[in-house]
């Protein structure tokens, strides 16, 4: 079964409600031509999820959240539980983004627990992995990514496996303007798919979409997306500009 290209925009801590609605209004028509050939998601900040969900009704864009808590409810001041995100209309939750790992101490074991919560709530996880520049220069890229994949995904069956999206995001390429070459990215994506095969078998591994993230732009998207194991993109900065994000969405359509 062919994997449908999946482009997701991570807005990070940007856009008020009013700004989010203005962006969505333009985005809806800018990406409508790809219909269901490409799956498109946006991940606004928590505060904008509810109004954006309403603004996306009858569009071909689905909603994602940027993280969640692993528990369903409880004394976790300031946190948001997965069922709350489901209630707002989220289809996906981004987990283990490198900013969460670096700035908020998120670990593979913590991501693993959050994945359970997301699946239980009826949403799909986008699990981010990727090496730092130091790890790449030390020749450790594949082993670092392997540890992250195994740590985040352990304990899930092949049935759950088919519901995962993985995002390979080299830390040195996020928000830096430096992109992995298509060859560098494809090498890691192929490695991830072979790890998924080891966990869940070749059939399930062949169904999992693996996005690339790290300074994806209109002018490098087509080349990256032409690689056999690159099934989409997780886009940060360029997802805040309608023309740039729409061009990435259309790069493979
Ligand atoms: C990201 O934050 O997931 C990301 C890939 O950011 P950027 O596209 O800005 O590098």
| Residues whose beta carbon lies within 6 Å of some atom of ligand 1 | 10, 169, 174-175, 213-216, 234-238
Confidence (pTM) = 0.97
> Domains of the chain, with CATH numbers?
5-250 (3.20.20.70)
The torsion angles phi and psi of 118, rounded to 5 degrees, stand at -65, -45
d(CA 23, CA 38): 20
Return the closest-CA partner of residue 10 out of 252, 248, 253, 233: 233
Q: Which atom of ligand 1 is nearest to the CA of 213?
A: 5
Q: Please write the tens of the pLDDT for every residue from 22-31.
A: 999 999 999 9
% of the chain surpassing 70 pLDDT: 100
Residue 163 is classified by DSSP as T
Q: Please write the tens of the pLDDT for every residue from 121-143.
A: 999 999 999 999 999 999 999 99
Name the residue of 216, 240, 244 to mutate for ligand 1: max ligand atoms within 8 A of Cβ: 216
| Mean pLDDT within 224-238 | 97
**For the CA atoms of the chain, what is the radius of gyration?**
17
β-strands 232-235, 38-43 pairing: unpaired
Confidence category of residue 244, pLDDT binned at 50, 70, 90: very high
What distance in angstroms lies between residue 51's CA and the mean position of ligand 1's atoms? Answer: 24
What distance in angstroms lies between residue 242's CA and the mean position of ligand 1's atoms? Answer: 15
- Residues with catalytic roles: 97, 169
What distance in angstroms lies between residue 123's CA and the mean position of ligand 1's atoms? Answer: 22
| Mean pLDDT within 209-217 | 97
| Mean pLDDT within 61-70 | 98
Copy the structure tokens of residue 67. 């993280």
Task: Report the mean per-residue pLDDT for the chain.
Answer: 97
């Amino acid at each position: 079964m062919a994997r449908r290209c999946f482009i997701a925009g991570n807005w990070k801590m940007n856009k008020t409600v009013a700004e989010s609605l203005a962006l969505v209004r333009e985005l809806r028509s800018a990406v409508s031509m790809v219909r269901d050939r490409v799956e498109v998601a946006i991940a606004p900040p928590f505060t904008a999820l509810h109004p954006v969900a309403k603004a996306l009704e009858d569009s071909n864009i689905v909603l994602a959240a940027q993280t969640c808590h692993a528990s369903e409810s409880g004394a976790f001041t300031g946190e948001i539980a997965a069922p709350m995100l489901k209630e707002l209309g989220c289809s996906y939750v981004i987990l283990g983004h490198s900013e969460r790992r670096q700035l908020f101490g998120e670990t593979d074991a913590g991501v693993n627990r959050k994945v359970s919560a997301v699946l239980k709530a009826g949403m799909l996880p986008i699990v981010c992995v990727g090496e730092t520049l130091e790890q790449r220069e030390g020749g450790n890229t594949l082993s670092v990514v392997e540890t992250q994949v195994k740590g985040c995904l352990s304990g899930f069956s092949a049935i759950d496996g088919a519901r995962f999206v993985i995002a390979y995001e080299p830390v040195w390429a996020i928000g830096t303007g430096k992109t992995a070459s298509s060859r560098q990215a494809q090498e890691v994506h192929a490695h991830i798919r072979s790890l998924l095969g080891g966990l869940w078998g070749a059939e399930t591994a062949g169904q999992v979409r693996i996005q690339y993230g790290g300074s994806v732009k209109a002018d490098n998207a087509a080349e990256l997306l032409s690689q056999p194991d690159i099934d989409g993109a997780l886009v940060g900065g360029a997802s805040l500009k309608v023309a740039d994000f729409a061009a990435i969405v259309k790069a493979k359509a």
